[in-house]
Structure 1
Amino acid sequence: MNTIPEIATRLASLCNEFKFVEAYIELYADNAVSIDPNNKNEPITGLHNLIEYEKRFLSNVEIHDIKVSEAIFAGSYFSLVFSMNFTVIGQGSKMVEEICVYKVENGKIVSQQFFIG
């Protein structure tokens, strides 16, 4: 799997199954970068750091439901809309919708940026 549509479809499938760490391991480049408003838009660089950040997030939430849209494409980029219903431990339930923009190079995701609505 290395075309952008294949990567987008696989990412959506794994996320719909709550397999977020597996998605990083399978689909992301070692030098991938993430920009996340939950991290004050400070870039997180490197696959290992992305996985650790994701594990910390998952250890603090209980995800109830997630819906991932069909992808849209432009050159080496694709976007997905995530709608997620989850409970943050000690804080209560949240419903978040975000647009996620991904860049692919050499068959791997090299960057992602999240825009929370």
Structure 2
Amino acid sequence: MNTLPEIANRLASLCNELKFVEAYTELYADNAVSIDPQNKNEPIIGLHNLIEREKQFLANVEIIDIKVSEAIFAGSYFSLIFSMHFTIKGQGEKLVEEVCIYKVENGKIISQQFFIG
């Protein structure tokens, strides 16, 4: 699996199944970068750091529902829209909608950036 549509569809499928850590392990490059407004747009660099951040997030939430859109493509990029309804421990429920843009090189995701609506 290394075409852009295959990677995008696999990512959407894993996320819809709540297999976020597996998605990172399977689809991301070792030197992948993430830019997320939840992290004050400070880049997180490296697959290990991305997985650790995801594990921390998952340890503090209970996901009620998630919806992932079909991908759209442009060159070496694809985009998905995530809608996630979850409960944050000690804070209550939250609904987040975000546009997620991914860049792929050599069959792996090398960057992601999230824009929260």
Same fold by TM-score greater than 0.5:
yes
Deviation at 1:4? 0.4
Deviation at 1:30? 0.1
1:8 aligns with 2:8: yes
| Structure 2 counterpart of 1:7, one-letter code | I
Secondary structure at the aligned position of 1:70 is classed as: coil
Distance 1:115 1:36 in 2: 7
Structure 2 unaligned runs (5+)? Answer: none
Runs of 4+ aligned structure 1 residues displaced above 2 Å come to: none
Secondary structure at the aligned position of 1:90 is classed as: coil
Distance 2:80 2:49 in 1: 22
| Structure 1 counterpart of 2:36, one-letter code | D
Partner of 1:64 in structure 2? Answer: 64
Partner of 1:115 in structure 2? Answer: 115
Distance 1:34 1:113 in 2: 6
Distance 2:25 2:64 in 1: 23
Q: What pairs up with 1:1-117 in 2 under 5 angstroms? A: 1-117=1-117
Q: Normalised by the size of structure 2, how large is the TM-score?
A: 1.00
Give the total of aligned pairs.
117
Identity of aligned residues (%): 84
Q: Normalised by the size of structure 1, how large is the TM-score?
A: 1.00
| Structure 2 counterpart of 1:109, one-letter code | I
